[in-house]
Structures are given as C-alpha cells and as structure tokens.
Amino acid sequence: MRVAIFDKFQKLAAVREALEKHHVRFLNIVMEDISSATEAVIDGKTVILAGTNNYLGLTFNEACIQASCKAVEKEGTGTTGSRMANGTLSGHVALEKELSDFLGRDKTIVFSTGYVANLAILSTLVGPGEVILLDGDCHASIYDGCKLGGAEVIRFRHNNPADLEKRLRRLAERNTNILIVVEGIYSMMGDRAPLADIVALKKKYGAYLIVDEAHSLGVLGENGRGLAEEANVEDDVDFVVGTFSKSLGAIGGFCSSNHPELDLVRYASRPYVFTASSAPSAIASTRAALQIIRSQSELRLQLWDNARTLYKRLQELGYKVGLEPSPIIAIRYDNIGEAYAMWNGLLERSIYVNMVLPPATPDGAVLLRCSLSAAHSPQQVEKIADAFALLRNSSH
C-alpha cells in the first residue's frame, strides 16, 4: 500500500511534538518590535539581541535606511523579474562594480540571496566527472549547491589540512577538475579556516578554491575583505562568495573572481536565470553599507572589542566556548534540556541568543550561539555577560 505524502515526516513530527511539550517557548519566538540593531520586544518585554549576525549594526544605520527609502520611491518595491529578463537595474550593475573594486577582483555577480549564490556557483562551476572537496562543517547552502551540480562530493575533516591533502593525493591520478570549498568564519563555532595551509595544498595539487566569506566579510582583514585578506592569500583564492545579510545588513549574495569566464555563469546557472532579482531597496542599502565598511574601520574595531570582552568573561566563568575569540561565540551542551534551561533563563533576563540543534551543529552537540555587534554598547555586553554569570552561579 502506498504511504501518504506526509508519512516521511513522522520522525520530524515526533521531534517537533517533544519540543512543543518541553521547550515550547523556543519554537514560538516572535520579534514583536525591532527598536534598534541590538534591541527588540519579545513577549512584550525589551530584550538585548545577541544572536542576529548583525556584526556592524548597519540595519539601523541612517545612510542605509535613507538609501533604501529613496530607492523604493524611485524604482518601486521589487523588480518582478530575473536578472536575465527585466530584473537588472542600474543599481545591480553599480553594486557589482563596487564589490569588484572593494575586493580587488575583475568580475562580480550579484544574486538574490547568499543561499542562491552558493546554489548558483556550486551547481554550475563543476559537474559530472569533476570533484568538490568541502570542509565537513560547511553551510547547508554549500551542500545543496553541490547536490544540484552532479559533481562527486567528498568531505574532509573540519579545518584539517592533513585530511584534505590525503584526499587530494588520492585524486591526483584522476586528471579532473577539483574545487575545494571552505568558509572564512564558520557560522556555528566562529572558527576560521586554516586558509594559508589550504592555499598551499590547492597550489600543490592544481585545484581551484572557493572561500565563502559570509560571516567574515566586514569582520576580518585590515580593510574588511575577509579571511583571504587577513591570511594574505587573496591572489590564490579563485572565487569569493558572500552574503549581504550579515555585516552589510540587507539581503542578497555575490560571487567575485578574477577568472574572466565568471560571466558565463549568468547564462548557465538556473538559480540565477530563474530567480527574481533583489529589490532596489536592498541593493541601495547594501551599496551604502559597503561604503561604510570601506570608510569606518572603527566599527570593526568595536566589534572585536565586544567579542573579546564577552569571550573572556564566558571563558573565565567556565563555559565550553570555542578555541579563540570571535564575533560568534558558541557554548556547547550535551543535551537539549540543559541548553534550553540556560536559553530560557537568559531570555527571562532579557537576553536573546540562538539555540541551535542537531543536525545543524557539529558533532551532534546543542549550541547556545551568541553573535556580537559593533552596535552593542559596552554596558550591553556586560549585561549579557552578567546574565550568563548569574545563571552559572545558580546552577551550581
């Protein structure tokens, strides 16, 4: 007998039911009002937002808001078409040129989201008979892009160049194109890829390299260009992918490269050809945010001051944090009950952080994931740390 179409979701339904029974608040968080880059109203109470990826706090920047409003008034609320149809406006072209200039690259393609950027690039650059080597902790959009293209996908151990080389060595006799995929800052634990070591292997074995700088753009490097800049290997990175939904405070994505053939992706990539282009308001605010990243390095310095302060406090309190300071600070728990109690306790003390469950997390752990912003005041950072301290003391 044929099973019903929703029967495949029974396991998921059971997990959802258990969450509803024991952790109902986690599934029903609504931001009722957003008052600033760092504060919102949840359950009628103002809370400090410490889980938004709004690294430079630009969602409420006046220049970005004004640029967005002017674009709506001039060009309307949306494009109603793909880039290949009526969806390429002058702002899209200008942003591509500005991103190329900022990143020191010859070519840039702008996409509707960062997710679509990874789908488009990874499903188009490589295909059947070719190989993608990706870090095991890469984002879901990277995995999904790999699936779409039909290339052979091989994972290597997270941030493990020795494991990467072992796999490159085995593939050497295949005489095919190999694309290595890593991230600048990994979104769950906030750790960096060992990019200099990976570049050395890429050159040794003649592979191509793509770096997803989604969480590192505007955050790392003297000019905010990301991990490739910080590691001084920009010339050896073939493709840089990123998003507008983190440091740039909007929505959208891009891929930049010095390969002149990058423009061919526009004609070959289904996610590019068949997706409506970004709204003029998002493009305009992103352009304004990019100028701020280029001109106001003090925001990056403030972000890192805030990140180091909270990391140090949590480390001193004995929390299981990552190996190094980062704007993403994740605390590991072995079970959801313990993590939920802490998450809910923080919310009761007007602090919102992300609780992340498997399979989205490394090694099946449950994470409480904080992300800091340049817009957090020193007082807010101390309040976040103090809430963690109170809960730590009450649990002992």
Contact 37, 248 (CB under 8 A): no
Q: Which two tokens stand for residue 268?
A: 């070959």
| Residue reference for tokens 């960096």 | 192
187 as an active site residue: the answer is yes
Per the rule left: phi > 0, alpha: psi between -120 and 50, beta: everything else, 225 is: alpha
- Chain centroid offset of residue 322 CA: 17
How far apart CA 219 and CA 246 sit, in angstroms, is 10
112 as an active site residue: the answer is no
8 as an active site residue: the answer is no
- H-helix or E-strand spanning residue 40: strand 39-42
Q: Tell me which of 139, 215, 247, 257 is the catalytic residue.
A: 215
If you write DSSP's letter for every residue of 167-187 in order, what string do you get? Answer: HHHHHGGG-S-EEEEEESB-T
How far apart CA 136 and CA 146 sit, in angstroms, is 13
Measured at the CA of 113, the angle between CA 110 and CA 114, to 5 degrees, comes to 90
Q: Tell me which of 246, 256, 371, 376 is the catalytic residue.
A: 246
Q: Tell me which of 68, 187, 269, 277 is the catalytic residue.
A: 187
DSSP conformational letter for 269: -
Look at the alpha carbons of 64, 109, 134, 167 in this order and tell me if their dihedral is positive or negative. Answer: negative
φ, ψ of residue 244 to 5 degrees: the values are -95, 0
Distances (CA, A) of 281 to 113, 220, 248: 14, 26, 13
Query: How many residues belong to the chain?
Result: 396
The set of catalytic residues is: 187, 215, 246
